[in-house]
Structure 1
């Protein structure tokens, strides 16, 4: 039983970390595109990626934590 709980906790921990990492990568890509480091890609696409990356880094992990939070024990 405890091994299952530990496995679930470990999986959730790494999932939240992966979501944050993908958000950071999306943010970096959005910054590079908005600064016109890639020829032929319009800067507004970079701004959209910046917003998506910020959402992935800040809001989405908090949502996952609140959704996966254990109910209080009576």
Structure 2
């Protein structure tokens, strides 16, 4: 027979802070990806130039915008769901 330790109670304030931090981190990283994408579009780096820079920069800007706008909304929808009982 195995004794499983009891599950400690969850502090809702701590969970809310962690969720807020996660959403803010995704927004911040999305903004950095957008800025990096614009730098690539302007061909500020020697390792990517010409048409490849425009394509790569466009992809990075779109990914960053998705991460900045859509991912926090998806996380909010996920956080609102109740865990399965």
Which of 26, 41, 46 is equivalent to 1:39? 46
CA distance in 2, matches of 1:11, 1:24: 20
The residue that corresponds to 2:61 in the other structure is 50
* Structure 1 residue ranges without an equivalent (≥5): none
The residue that corresponds to 2:3 in the other structure is none
Q: TM-score, normalised by structure 2?
A: 0.76
The residue that corresponds to 2:14 in the other structure is 7
2:31 is the alignment partner of 1:24: yes
Q: How many residues were matched structurally?
A: 70
* Structure 2 residue ranges without an equivalent (≥5): 1-8
Any idea what the Cα deviations from partners look like across 1:34-74, whole Å, max 9, x if unmatched?
A: 11111121311111100100000000000001110166xxx
The residue that corresponds to 1:61 in the other structure is 72
Bigger radius of gyration among the two? 2
Q: TM-score, normalised by structure 1?
A: 0.86
